[in-house]
Amino acid sequence: MNSLRIKALALALLAAGTPALPLAAQGTPPPPPDNIEAAAGELRVIHLWSTEPDEFMAAWAGPTPPKLPTSKRMERNQPIQQFVLYANCTRNAAGECHVTAKVLIFAPDGSAYGDPLAFEVVNGPATVPPGNIGMASGGIGLTVEDGEQLGRYRVELVVTDHNAGLTATSVVHLEAVEAGSLAGRRKEG
């Protein structure tokens, strides 16, 4: 037996004799990563947020590829704006797309934060060629106000392409912090 096999065998025997830690001692597993990008069939969705919506729109209108100012952190009483980008909506016989979105927000304690919100992504003539990225005609803004929970908010974006009968879901988390705590620091998420 070579030395590598002996070391491997020794480690295996050592591991076999080591009792497993109780779940409480192992700690809480980390939350799953956000899926900013989601897909269903050919439909593609990108779910972004920004505390600088005017700068976001200016960058979107500028040269390609844009450098979009995004964030996953917001201060209390300061708004953050959602931007939904999409590609490859299914066209009907008249060349029109019908894509809608529903947003569900959950507070840090897991409770629903308000009612679900719905809006049109695109409904009518498809103005974005296949393979290109367009911006939804709708979106939401979010402000965590005085008396509301600080911490990690879960935002589910459910986008449905009605012509294709497909739904893509994106989940992102936004961190709400006390006002003034991000001052002087870059707000990017």
CA distance 119 to 108: 24
Domain-located, residue 13: no
In this prediction, residue 14 has a pLDDT band, given cuts at 50, 70 and 90, of very low
CA distance 64 to 84: 17
Domain-located, residue 154: yes
Count of structural domains, the chain: 1
Residue with tokens 């019908």: 98
Domain-located, residue 182: no
Domain-located, residue 96: yes
Query: What pLDDT sits at residue 163?
Result: 97
CA distance 121 to 136: 4
**What CATH number did the domain enclosing 140 receive?**
2.60.40.3880
Condensed to tens digits (0 to 9), the pLDDT of residues 82-112 reads 999 999 999 999 999 999 999 999 999 999 9
Query: What pLDDT sits at residue 16?
Result: 44
Domain-located, residue 51: yes
Domain-located, residue 34: yes
Condensed to tens digits (0 to 9), the pLDDT of residues 139-189 reads 999 999 999 999 999 999 999 999 999 999 999 999 999 998 887 654 444
Taking residues 17-27, report their average pLDDT: 50
Condensed to tens digits (0 to 9), the pLDDT of residues 26-69 reads 666 776 788 899 999 999 999 999 999 999 999 999 998 899 99
Q: How far is CA 52 from CA 4, 79, 80, in A?
A: 56, 9, 8
Q: For residue 127, what are the domain limits? A: 27-177
Q: Does the structure show a pLDDT above 80 at 7?
A: no
DSSP letter for each residue of 103-166: EEEE-TTS-B-S--EEEEEEEEE--S-TTS-EE-S---EE-PPTTSPPEEEEEEEEEEETTTTE
Query: What pLDDT sits at residue 15?
Result: 41
Query: What pLDDT sits at residue 64?
Result: 85
Query: What pLDDT sits at residue 188?
Result: 47
Q: How far is CA 57 from CA 44, 104, 189, in A?
A: 20, 24, 18
Query: What pLDDT sits at residue 17?
Result: 46
Residue with tokens 């269903």: 40
Query: What pLDDT sits at residue 185?
Result: 55
The identity of residue 147, as a single letter, is G
Domain-located, residue 84: yes
Domain-located, residue 108: yes
The answer, as to whether pTM is greater than 0.85, is no
Beta-carbon count within 10 A of 85 CB: 19
Q: Does the structure show a pLDDT above 80 at 118?
A: yes
b/e string for 48-65 if b means 16 or more Cβ within 10 A? bbbbbbeebbebeeeeee
Residue with tokens 């709708």: 138
